[in-house]
Amino acid sequence: MTEPDWDTWRHIPHVARWQAAALSLNINPDELQSHRECDTRGIANQAKRAEFDKRLRIVNAQPYSVLRSDPNTRAIQLARFAAWALSIGWDIPRELRALTEPPKRRAADDGEPDPRHRKTLLRIIGALLDLAEIDPDEPPKTTAHAINAKLDLRGGGMKDDTIAKVIRDARDQIADD
Q: What is the mean pLDDT of residues 150-172?
A: 82
Report, as an integer, the average pLDDT of 68-73. 68
pTM for the full model? 0.56
Under the banding of pLDDT at 50, 70 and 90, the label for residue 74 is confident
- Confidence check: pLDDT of 51 > 70: yes
Q: Say if residue 35's pLDDT is above 50.
A: no
**Does the pLDDT at position 106 exceed 70?**
no
**Statement: residue 28 has pLDDT above 50:** yes
Residue 126: per-residue pLDDT: 83
Is residue 40 predicted with pLDDT exceeding 80? no
Who wins on pLDDT, 38 or 21? Answer: 21
Query: SS3 for the chain, per residue?
Result: CCCCCHHHHCCCCEECHHHHHHHHCCCCHHHCEECCEECHHHCCCHHHHHHHHHHHHHHHHCCHHHHCCCCCCCCEEHHHHHHHHHHCCCCCCHHHHHHHCCCCCCCCCCCCCCHHHHHHHHHHHHHHHHHCCCCCCCCHHHHHHHHHHHHHHCCCCCCHHHHHHHHHHHHHHHHHC
Q: Which of 77-86, 105-114, 136-145 bottoms out in mean pLDDT, i.e. has the lowest?
A: 105-114
Which pairing describes strands 14-15 and 76-77: parallel, antiparallel, or unpaired?
Answer: antiparallel
pLDDT band at residue 21 under the 50/70/90 scheme: very high
> Residue 10: pLDDT above 80?
yes
**pLDDT tens-digit profile of 127-151?**
888 888 888 788 888 888 888 788 7
